[in-house]
Amino acid sequence: MLAALIDSIEQRKARLDRLRPLSAAALAQLQKHYDVELTYTSNAIEGNTLTLRETAEVIEHGITVGGKSLRDHLEAVDHYEAVQWMRELAARTTPIDESAVCELHRRIVARSQPAIAGIYSRLPRRIAGSSVVFPNPAKIPQLMEEFSAWLKTAPLDPASVFEAHFRLTAIHPFGDGNGRTARLLMNLLLIRGGYPPVAVRLEDRKTYLDALERGSLVEDLQPFQSFMHERLEATLGEYLSALEEALPQPDPTRSAG
């Protein structure tokens, strides 16, 4: 199953590469769509109540949505701006390391939770309803240093990118925002590898969290890898369709000779 997914992803990636260089106008529209979706889905998984349309209105027009909390609004603005910084970093050649992870986190909670922005937790971290036990806070600096060293040399293939996501969530270095940071790190690495960013949809929340939990409890990453490869394959298909639709169509009235 996973082997078939990997083969399909490679084929779709090859199709995407053949379309490069991509039209700047088409790419800008596609990126804006995905960046709003990434913000909505990543926040929704963590309990943010804004809908996709409401998230777009907050981001694009600064509209306040009645009945929704201030924190929901601030999380939308924070995450969207973090996505923009992530794209800037993806376009550079600087190594992705511990400082980049902390900066991603700082931006994700800059307005909604400034007191913890980019700072490792000194308290035990737990997830309600989960039996996963995260590392002792005293071990976080060393674990993040080791993660950073691994990150600098890890290849940009999907399996390694998804492992980076899992490793960061397993360390759980921050008081909150770990999932959002891990997903943004994952997408930073995917973009650097020439892939589109992947959204984990709200309807997939249980499958996604169960797979992460299994990875931590029994050290079995296959369900998580399979799930994330499925999402990448689907995203590549959507991305290709949108780009191919934006390509100039041949004029049927023009003579081939």
Instruction: Give the Cα separation of 71 and 58 in Å (integer).
Output: 12
Cα 178 to Cα 60, 132, 138, 181, 199: the distances in Å are 26, 14, 17, 5, 16
Alpha-carbon torsion (92, 169, 209, 181), positive or negative:
negative
List the chain domain ranges.
26-241
Q: pLDDT tens per residue, the chain (257 residues)?
A: 899 999 999 999 999 999 888 777 778 888 998 999 999 999 999 999 999 999 999 999 998 999 999 999 999 999 999 999 999 999 999 999 999 999 999 999 999 999 999 999 999 888 877 888 899 999 999 999 999 999 999 999 999 999 999 999 999 999 999 999 999 999 999 999 999 999 999 999 999 999 999 999 999 999 999 999 999 999 999 999 988 887 665 545 554 44
Q: Are 243 and 83 in contact (CB under 8 A)?
A: no
| The one catalytic residue among 73, 165, 172, 229 | 172
Residue pair 162/228 in contact (Cβ under 8 Å)? The answer is yes
Q: What pLDDT does residue 192 have?
A: 96
Global pTM reads 0.93
105 catalytic? Reply is no
CATH class of 26-241: mainly alpha
